[in-house]
Amino acid sequence: MKGTIYYIKPSPLGAVLERLKTPCPVIGLEGRKTAHQGVEGPAVFVACSDENHLAEIRRRVRSLDAWTVVYLGDNLPPASGLPRNKLFALLPRQAPRVSLEWAIQGALRSVQAEMDSVQASAKLREMAGELGTMNRIGVALSTERNTDALLELILTKSRDITSADAGSLYLVEEEEKGRKHLLFKLTQSDSHSVPFRQFTLPIDRQSIAGYAAATGSILNIKDAYRIRNLPFRLNRDFDEKFGYRTRSMLVLPMKNQKDECIGVLQLINAKRRKEAKLTSPRAVRQEVVPFSEHSQELAASLASQAAVALENNLLYRDIQRLFEGFVKASVTAIESRDPTTFGHSERVAKLTVGLAEVVDRAEAGPYKNIHFSREEIQELRYASLLHDFGKVGVREEVLVKAKKLYPSQLELIRKRFQYIRKVLELDTARKKLDHLLREGNHNFQEAFAALDQRLEENLRQLDEFRNDILRANEPTVLPEAASGKLVEIAGWSFQDPDGSTEALLAPDELRLLSIPKGSLDANERLQIESHVIHSFKFLSQIPWTKELRNIPAIARAHHEKLDGSGYPYHMKGDEIPFQTKMMTISDIFDALTARDRPYKRAVPVERALDIIGQEVKSHLLDPNLFQLFVEAKIFELTTKD
């Protein structure tokens, strides 16, 4: 049993108590004259009724965790102020020595039990606090998606729970041939500003970190300058360069669920006081202690959590890279179907994200309360990159149609005109030959001149028809006179080689050339517009994560207008996602200014902004977003060299 027996001097109990066979020291206190005398628990106070010692006892026990009183007297004074639960025994004044000894022994066991309970409660609170800390660290590790930030968090928390002055972190990397090495990724120190330089270490037994990685063993080194019976030694270059002294070290392999080492955590110089700075050898001697077994257990537990979090993080990063590759491949597929729009998706994504970032920073205006998380910005970027993916479902000849006629149709008309030209020339030659056979040389010059003039007139008219067709084939606004001219041309006919009569323009050719504006007829325009539906159906097939689940809805509305005149769903106002409203402005701007569209000329930035401004005035696009687009000069993200 642990404890001390106290009595207040002078007291007739003194001689009795000092002769008792107790396992604990007996100390007499001389009251207020020696108030500096300390009292430590657990303690048993023995008081006598003929001595006024209770006030002194109360004064002495204020800081004790466990104490009790054995009182000799007929009755405890009512005004004693002594808590009843602190009175272990009330004995007669002349109690036998054996009774007194028994009472004191019992009192000692009582206070020892109380002290054990207090210590157990304190230990329990400490363990609960540590458990709470480890849980909070675990949550923080599992939710951090940035790999560099995660590594910083792992090292910071490991040093915090072990009171380590410094530390470093290595990651296992696999080379192309399958061999592995350690990459020095991070270092921290409370006492020195440490310059960082990445380097690699072989995974072998020649270095401290390499040994931990190769063997999977935890190293708890009391003094790194006095390593014995191990194949490695401390590299003192850092210590010598910066005047540091590496003493205690705790080196832990970070193992994944397959028991594979994926990194090494190295903690340096455990300190008595976390706030201490180890800037001198004296400070190291005074403050540095070995890493305790408890610190090792905590650090090992954290290293296990960190390994799982790190592996999940690396897996998450690999999945992101995989998805980035999928998106890049999808954009490539789009552009391979429609090379004329090369770079369009990337530019739209850059403009849309830029506008979203401006909205997120806005401190005034109607959108001051709209903010985007990092995940929402990524979601918007992916939606912008994939918004035109449905073009893979549109017939290529329609998708890349630059003129009103398809190239094959125009080539057929060209060949037809060449044939008619040859027929006219051959007919003229035949008539000349007939004249000679019938009239000889008589008046042949005049006859030939008339035939040549007739041929020249026919060829000139044929060339005019051809030029009229070429002009009508351009995707511009078709004048009414040109439309009538096409009908006139279609009324002409010629005789083909098999003797049948064919129109100079086929009905389909006349119909396409008569398109009043642009290069697409109504059916072709519907096919182009269907790319939005194809995009939505394709994107809806992907099992998006919670952070990216809005991509299909954002992408499918990028051709909608606020008044419902857009396509293909004719959404209005707030039916259109806010993110899509930003994308629509970006999409129109790039379509107007892109220099790689064969069916239209690029317009200058000022003209493009003016055109979009007219759509804003027509209540087709969001005016506040367009204002931010212009004021923040978002357009310069893709137009400024």
Read off the pLDDT of residues 90-121 as tens digits, 9 standing for 90 and up: 888 778 878 888 888 888 888 888 778 877 77
Q: Out of 24-33, 379-388, 489-498, pick the least confident.
A: 24-33
Two tokens, residue 169: 């972190």
Report the amino acid identity of residue 212: A
Q: 587: exposed, middle or buried (C-beta count within 10 Å: 0-12, 13-18, 19+)?
A: buried
What average pLDDT score do residues 621-626 get?
96
Residue 400 in this model has a pLDDT that exceeds 70: yes
What average pLDDT score do residues 170-199 get?
86
What average pLDDT score do residues 476-489 get?
85
What CATH number labels 144-315? Answer: 3.30.450.40
Question: What string of H, E and C letters represents the secondary structure of 465-509?
Answer: HHHHHHHHHCCCCCCHHHHHHHHHHHHCEEECCCCCEEECCCHHH
Fold for 4-118, please state it: Rossmann fold (3.40.50)
Residue 8 in this model has a pLDDT that exceeds 90: no
pLDDT score of 34: 45
Residue 96 is given by DSSP the state: -
Residue 47 in this model has a pLDDT that exceeds 80: no
pLDDT score of 36: 43
What average pLDDT score do residues 195-204 get?
87
pLDDT score of 240: 87
Q: Out of 298-302, 316-320, 363-367, 551-555, pick the least confident.
A: 316-320
| Integer Cα distance of 534 and 398 in angstroms | 15
> Of 270, 267, 306, 260, which Cα lies nearest the Cα of 134?
306
pLDDT score of 35: 43
pLDDT band for position 600 (cuts 50, 70, 90): low
Task: Decide which of 342 and 571 is more confident.
Answer: 571
Residue 135 in this model has a pLDDT that exceeds 80: no
What average pLDDT score do residues 289-297 get?
92
pLDDT score of 83: 75
Q: Is the dihedral of CA 66, 72, 76, 80 positive or negative?
A: negative
Mean pLDDT score across all residues of the chain:
86
pLDDT score of 480: 80
Residue 560 in this model has a pLDDT that exceeds 90: yes
Q: Out of 67-76, 603-612, 620-629, pick the least confident.
A: 67-76
pLDDT band for position 599 (cuts 50, 70, 90): low
Which CATH number applies to 338-396+524-639: 1.10.3210.10, 1.10.1200.10, 1.10.3720.10, 3.40.50.880? Answer: 1.10.3210.10
